Structure 1
């Protein structure tokens, strides 16, 4: 899991920052918060902003503002600001609270209008250049440096993987060999970015992404490569979590906990140690060891009270107390892809299956035939299937469902795996299924390949109710 300021979905985080355009305008005009903290991460940007001659033939390019800012809620910190001279040139030192990806924006004269924006990596010692001719008219622009070249390579690789995935979903979605080849190729490309851009922030993100993609396909390689990840990786805790699950699938719970002990020894900060302890809590929850999970969660709160993981421990405790078999299922309200309102309470009187998935996930695709057979073996008024995609990209959902039998209610979760529909049931991995009985009580949670256990419990539930 990445640090608090840079979440896995950088694009979604950026859109959140840009909502405060008017506040940024004030920051441009007033220079709000442009002070460097003693331990700030500092980088440098210089460049030139010009205007197309048919738009402005004066040759005076002064007064344009270049701004790097960090938005946390309604608090805006200006990390760097510069104003172009007559020739359009500018120089800017950028001081960020930590290494990460921040929005870089170009504002018009007097800061009245934001003209363009892009993502910019702030990393110690990085020196970047920026050349822009206005108006951009929809064209993208890039900050050029080693750090930002790594970011482009990372995102281009993921964009190509997405295009391949969409094409696969639109053609032969059951061809697991093709999917495996695509995942392994993308994973290898992402992993090798560390050699092309050694030590770069985005190449470290890419290395973690490569393990996430490979998880479940080659768990032995996942564990081996996870041990090569340095604690300086901003997603070090996520690496520990991925490795724990892979090790558990390979060798069982004891081996997975031993591996977490190793990651705890490698951790360099309290945030990382707390995150590894959280992975231990999750391991106990996944194996339904309620007492061990509660004890581990309390230890997490006691030892790391001032970290974000202390709040996470409260949610884990909530899961143990509210989502284990026999407890009342939390309420859930959603909007289906057809625009209808769907409330869990309205489905009372019959078992409900909540299945969380990601379009294109091979395991879920391979389970579809059995899943549909199970659906057809029940009546629509006897079991309610609610399929919740944790991929907010509607294009992927449309490609996945096109020309495919996929009966039941369908929902796209706002915010994806980090959104409220997934958090309500503390969904961390997909595919995952939640079975709720006709009285609204939790029956079980079934992650990954545990489809047979889910099928048996649903069949037993129906038999008991007949």
Structure 2
């Protein structure tokens, strides 16, 4: 039984680490040259509103917000004829709010693309009466095209879901069509920021649907694309399915050596750790995680690597689950040792968490059906609010034993099990060995594994009889 559980639970669910990877942008970034652009234009007022022909005093501001601070990228005021000129300086390319005000009243706000060397013309006659500002430049035209494609794609997906026709074939056709249109922007707007985004998204959205095309398109993306890491992540999984894990690892190492800045190198180093774990090369994954910590001390990457290191050393399938002692909701003390001899489901949750609430019906049904002589469920709330915790029990009596962990995610038991994503669940076998870990929306995977365990137990019982 022990060996079967270890084999059947060897699927590595590293969503905890993968989710964290997307949050670590910008840490340790070195100063970069600022992006320079230019805008000019004319604003006027309808003669019905103002017959003086004095169009001065329109205030134009282009701003962004970074870590709570407002950064003004450009500012201008129209002259009497309504004309303005504005030099723009930004830390990076992007889409920012373009705000037009007069006499303290905000009149319009629009999306404005800032990209190196782009020159934009803006015009409008107030009141706009539902019209938009006219913003004309190669970069803004490309952004509009990209945004329209995305809007049509989202609408099509929504229609499929609402009509209950979101079959695999229909979804594939929709995704393939959108991917092709996004890729075609390379012909219409070959050097624009939006085209680079569209090209990356065209590759990423095909992963798992058309892996061969993902692999074919990746080399056509510029190594300097801001989204190249996302494309490489997707291609890594496609390559693993098509050509094997060794080829996917080679792909990651190739790009890690060639991407232009440290942020991208660190992100690909993190992906390499995950890929090595996916290929069951735990020792090499540990080496790469330790190297990440050494290369970027004191950064969020180092923190991520420390969590990955702990996970590799303590929480992989087949390892002994960390021992603990907790106080149950009813005041009873419980130790992990007392649970040995039964399968254990260790669940970390928060009563107001969206995923937990979405899954709670299925959770209660599944756990209610488990034989308490064979399975034990221990649920630990990492919400420090006792009122919120008790509210879960006002209308229902959810199955399982419950703990309200003082200290939340910083409590001893949450730290022992490296909990950073809610919900997080562990399946542990009767010998106290970890079978698998499930993070985020993982209830269905846990349910399927429990069905497999029960089927195997029934088979063993049948053979014994």
> TM-score scaled to structure 1, two decimals?
0.66
Residue 153 and residue 376 in structure 1: after superposition, are their counterparts in 2 closer, same or farther (change >3 A)? farther
Aligned partner of residue 256 in structure 2, secondary structure: helix
Residue 457 and residue 321 in structure 1: after superposition, are their counterparts in 2 closer, same or farther (change >3 A)? farther
d(CA) in 1 for partners of 2:213, 2:282 = 31
Kindly provide the CA deviation profile for residues 1-24 of structure 1, in whole angstroms up to 9, marking residues without a partner as x: 79947xxxxxxxxxxxxxxxxxxx
d(CA) in 2 for partners of 1:165, 1:456 = 30
Q: Kindly indicate whether structure 1 or structure 2 has the higher relative contact order, using CA contacts under 8 Å at least 6 residues apart.
A: 2
Residue 335 and residue 58 in structure 1: after superposition, are their counterparts in 2 closer, same or farther (change >3 A)? farther
**Match of residue 145 from structure 1:** 137
Residue 187 and residue 383 in structure 1: after superposition, are their counterparts in 2 closer, same or farther (change >3 A)? farther
d(CA) in 1 for partners of 2:72, 2:262 = 27
Trace 1:377-416 onto structure 2 (pairs within 5 A): none
Q: Cα offset for 1:263?
A: 1.2
Kindly provide the CA deviation profile for residues 81-137 of structure 1, in whole angstroms up to 9, marking residues without a partner as x: 00111111110010111222222211223xx34332222221111100111222334
Question: Is 1:132 paired with 2:149?
Answer: no
Kindly provide the CA deviation profile for residues 30-68 of structure 1, in whole angstroms up to 9, marking residues without a partner as x: xxxxxxx98211000001122233233322221111111
**Match of residue 159 from structure 2:** 167
Kindly provide the CA deviation profile for residues 156-213 of structure 1, in whole angstroms up to 9, marking residues without a partner as x: 1010001111111111334322221111110011111112111111100011111121
What 5-or-longer segments of structure 2 have no aligned partner? 1-21, 325-345, 378-417
d(CA) in 2 for partners of 1:281, 1:341 = 28
Trace 1:321-360 onto structure 2 (pairs within 5 A): 324-325=316-317, 326=321, 331-335=348-352, 342=357, 352=363
**Match of residue 178 from structure 2:** 186
Residue 216 and residue 142 in structure 1: after superposition, are their counterparts in 2 closer, same or farther (change >3 A)? farther
**Which shows bigger deviation, 328-337 or 196-205?**
328-337
Kindly provide the CA deviation profile for residues 370-407 of structure 1, in whole angstroms up to 9, marking residues without a partner as x: xxxx97995899999xxxxxxxxxxxxxxxxxxxxxxx
d(CA) in 2 for partners of 1:342, 1:331 = 13
Aligned partner of residue 43 in structure 1, secondary structure: strand
Q: Cα offset for 1:453?
A: 9.0
Residue 244 and residue 377 in structure 1: after superposition, are their counterparts in 2 closer, same or farther (change >3 A)? farther
Residue 182 and residue 124 in structure 1: after superposition, are their counterparts in 2 closer, same or farther (change >3 A)? same
**Match of residue 56 from structure 1:** 50
CA contact (8 A) 1:352 1:436 kept: no
Question: Is 1:72 paired with 2:66?
Answer: yes
Q: Cα offset for 1:425?
A: 5.7
d(CA) in 2 for partners of 1:69, 1:169 = 37
Residue 283 and residue 341 in structure 1: after superposition, are their counterparts in 2 closer, same or farther (change >3 A)? closer
> TM-score scaled to structure 2, two decimals?
0.66
Over the aligned positions, Cα root-mean-square deviation in angstroms equals: 4.4
Q: Cα offset for 1:451?
A: 7.9
Question: Is 1:120 paired with 2:112?
Answer: yes
Residue 200 and residue 47 in structure 1: after superposition, are their counterparts in 2 closer, same or farther (change >3 A)? same
Trace 1:13-52 onto structure 2 (pairs within 5 A): 39-52=33-46
CA contact (8 A) 2:38 2:88 kept: yes
**Match of residue 448 from structure 2:** 455
Question: Is 1:262 paired with 2:279?
Answer: no
CA contact (8 A) 2:39 2:85 kept: yes
Q: Which has the larger radius of gyration?
A: 2
**Number of aligned residues:** 366
Residue 181 and residue 378 in structure 1: after superposition, are their counterparts in 2 closer, same or farther (change >3 A)? farther
- The counterpart of 2:222, out of the listed 230, 237, 240, is 230
Question: Is 1:241 paired with 2:258?
Answer: no
Q: Cα offset for 1:319?
A: 5.2
**Match of residue 380 from structure 2:** none
What 5-or-longer segments of structure 1 have no aligned partner? 6-36, 354-373, 385-422
Trace 1:298-337 onto structure 2 (pairs within 5 A): 298-305=290-297, 309-317=301-309, 320=312, 324-325=316-317, 326=321, 331-335=348-352
d(CA) in 1 for partners of 2:348, 2:106 = 42
CA contact (8 A) 2:229 2:268 kept: yes
Kindly provide the CA deviation profile for residues 307-345 of structure 1, in whole angstroms up to 9, marking residues without a partner as x: 6644443454465578645469673325477xx99599x
- The counterpart of 2:82, out of the listed 88, 92, 96, is 88
Q: Cα offset for 1:455?
A: 2.0
Residue 343 and residue 463 in structure 1: after superposition, are their counterparts in 2 closer, same or farther (change >3 A)? farther
Residue 205 and residue 75 in structure 1: after superposition, are their counterparts in 2 closer, same or farther (change >3 A)? same
d(CA) in 2 for partners of 1:171, 1:446 = 31
d(CA) in 2 for partners of 1:194, 1:96 = 25
**Match of residue 208 from structure 2:** 216
CA contact (8 A) 2:25 2:263 kept: no
**Match of residue 356 from structure 1:** none
